[in-house]
Structure 1
């Protein structure tokens, strides 16, 4: 490999061939030490970069005297010196002030600030910042400007810097717009789950009142055990992903595949519920088996199936709403730990459920499933865009 080959990125825009220059960060990023207490307070985050403190969702613990706070101008790059190795930096689109514990950087005239803001958040640079941070433990690691300024980077001419950051900012705008769509879909789904199940929203052709049932009247508990050890695929119930294969979810098989005779057999459209719930995070949601195959679940789970009165997809979305959580919290038994409780099978079966006629159940289920399909497709698109960005961050920089 030639000497110059180490100083050029793997991917370049047409028209550029010069090797990138090796520079110290102190040559391309100067320090701003101006103080001001009469500006809006800013926060520097790992994921969002520089944001207004009022938008951070955190309580303002700053002192009333902000006169010693550091001034940040539009185009500056402030960073948290104790979290620089984690990526707590960003290009500022706002004028404001930050804690005096932070460092504020000013891009030099021959340097594009947005270009550098992307460069210093790359994993490769974060590893360098970690090595140069001072302190005995990760809680005390600190990267002040004198140490940062001595770190070397490679930079192209400013025109190439601008083209690189333009490509990345367009991707960021696309990521933000796609995330906004997902957030909007979440709100729509939440509204549907509330108003469809409290009957305030109805399909026009339906007016009959829904009938009241107990869960145990419209479902039957699955008691079939894997006594012959016929089924060897173990499922688990993930709060985020639903019923999934245990080995792929945990990257290992937790159950003893050679002896699953005491496990429940779970078939397609069966429901699984973990009766042990956390007050801090509900880890035991009811999930329908949509894997199109039969497997087994630990006997710690409660497995049941819908009877003819309840359409499985309708019942699935009932359990994605809020009403059943209220029932659980009102009827659960607190154990030795105050943050956890369990609910007995007989109590679970007494949960009230209202059902419309079968055709309305199917329409509600289909509507919500179609919405979730669009949401999942949008989420997949977002992940692909992020993957493209990660790849460009590796290929467009040295």
Structure 2
């Protein structure tokens, strides 16, 4: 049997070190999964055995761990669980059709799983489940059979080759990735909680047609004033210098297109820049710091705040708040309202677009600038924390991908 060593060795003392000629790692042994165990599958449940409500959730692999597809009776569950194969706590369920190769760990809850979608591997003590889980997550199932619906067959799983280290190393590797998965999940849950909090505050901290919000900071009691957006801000369109004239391009003035406005709050740097001459020879306008960029076509309603003077192409109707009348971040926090209004008022045969004139007529309830600032600071803090969690999640996922590539052979 083939024996190989991983590019990284999870050494004693819970540290990860590069494996090389000085580290003397144990060689990994290559085996087929079928040498280590056999595939098991739940007995089939038919549609007429399920209902919209019941005692035991019935899942397909795509919904396992979330909302069940339907339910079965506790009597049927107990009967099938006692008579037929059923996973034990810690067993890894593998999707065999649909989203092929998706894995989840069974944690012992009363639930039944679609037999045609889920299999699991019963194996002996030579293979740690925590190690197997990570192996299956990175496995690419090639040459899947099926004309209409592709399916992973038992033989595909049993013939799959796996490289195994000693049990102690398997356990250490499994623990490392379980820790990473748990940490990622905790950050995702926290991010979700913050997003739900933000959503609730957006609904309660901005005034409705009565002119009063449900929640307010202490000391603010005045009714909010309804104004048109054009009365408290200047709406500015954009333009594009001729692309045939090289003197207009590759300057030092940021020039944005709608495709560049993603989920960032503050703009950093545009993909392309124009020159002073390009600005002068086009309908583009130089926008000040604090301008809220607003895409008016090709996806109406994406926003970002300028942190450096810049201009845009004609796919924007950018909003420049008037001093002491409108706070930039307060307005940015109303992105959903701006988007909804723009989509409602937009028109066009080739693509939907909203004009600056239409945006200037948008009605908006606003408090005095001091209350705006307090509200803006709250949402700015929330957005910053959400962004930090997102960056941490992306970093941990990238770290996990890198370790999966280097710690398995």
TM-score bin, normalised by smaller chain? 0.7 to 0.9
| Structure 1 residue 156: Cα displacement | 2.0
| Contact 2:225 2:367 survives alignment (8 Å) | yes
Q: What's the CA shift for 1:296?
A: 2.7
Residues 36, 68 of structure 1: 8 Å contact kept = no
TM-score by length of 2: 0.75
Shift of 1:116: 0.5
Q: Separation in 1 of the partners of 2:296 and 2:85? A: 53
Does structure 1 residue 240 correspond to structure 2 residue 249? no
Q: Give the corresponding residue for 1:375.
A: 386
Trace 1:76-225 onto structure 2 (pairs within 5 A): 76-82=91-97, 87-94=101-108, 96-110=111-125, 111-122=127-138, 125-126=139-140, 129-130=141-142, 132-134=143-145, 140-198=149-207, 199-222=213-236
The superposition leaves residues 102-152 of structure 1 with CA deviations (integer Å, 9 ceiling, x where unpaired) of: 351223122222320111111xx31xx22x42357xx75433121332221
Q: Does 1:44 align with 2:64?
A: no
Question: Could you tell me whether the CA contact under 8 Å between 2:205 and 2:215 is conserved in 1?
Answer: yes
Note the C-alpha offset of 1:312.
Answer: 1.8
Kept after mapping to 1: 8 A contact 2:93/2:119: yes
Residue 304 of structure 1: aligned partner: 319
CA contact (8 A) 1:19 1:156 kept: yes
Question: 1:250 matched to which residue of 2?
Answer: none
Counterpart residue number, 1:287: 303
Aligned equivalent of 2:5: 7
1:25 aligns with 2:33: yes
| CA contact 1:9–1:396 (8 Å) conserved in 2 | yes
Aligned partners of 1:175, 1:374: CA distance in 2, in Å? 15
Q: Give the Å deviation of 1:346.
A: 2.2
Matched-pair contact (CA < 8 Å) for 1:81–1:102 = yes
In the TM superposition, residue 306 of structure 1 has moved relative to its aligned partner by 1.0
Structure-2 change in CA distance of 1:144 and 1:323 (3 Å): same
Segments of structure 1 that go 5 or more residues without pairing to the other structure are 248-252, 278-282
Partners of 1:368 and 1:328 lie apart in 2 by 22
CA displacement at 1:329 relative to structure 2: 4.9
304, 314, 333: which one pairs with 2:330?
314
**Structure 2: which 5+ runs fail to align?**
14-23, 50-55, 208-212, 242-246
Q: How many residues align?
A: 362
Q: Quick one: distance in 2 between partners of 1:224 and 1:42?
A: 52
- CA distance in 1 between counterparts of 2:275 and 2:95 reads 47
Match of 1:268 in 2: 289
For residues 252 and 233 of structure 2, the distance between their equivalents in structure 1, rounded to whole angstroms, comes to 24
Question: Equivalents in 2 of 1:328, 1:27: separation in Å?
Answer: 62
Quick one: structure 1 residues 348 and 222, their matched pair in 2 at CA, closer, same or farther if it must change by over 3 Å? closer
Q: Residue 257 of structure 2 aligns to a residue in which SS? A: strand
Distance 1:239 1:385, change over 3 A: closer
Aligned partner of residue 197 in structure 1, secondary structure: coil
Name the CA distance, whole Å, in 1 between partners of 2:134 and 2:178: 10
- RMSD in angstroms over aligned alpha carbons? 3.7
Hey, what does 1:280 align to over in structure 2?
none
Equivalent in 54, 58, 63 of residue 67 of structure 2: 54
| Distance in 2, Cα, partners of 1:284 & 1:329 | 6
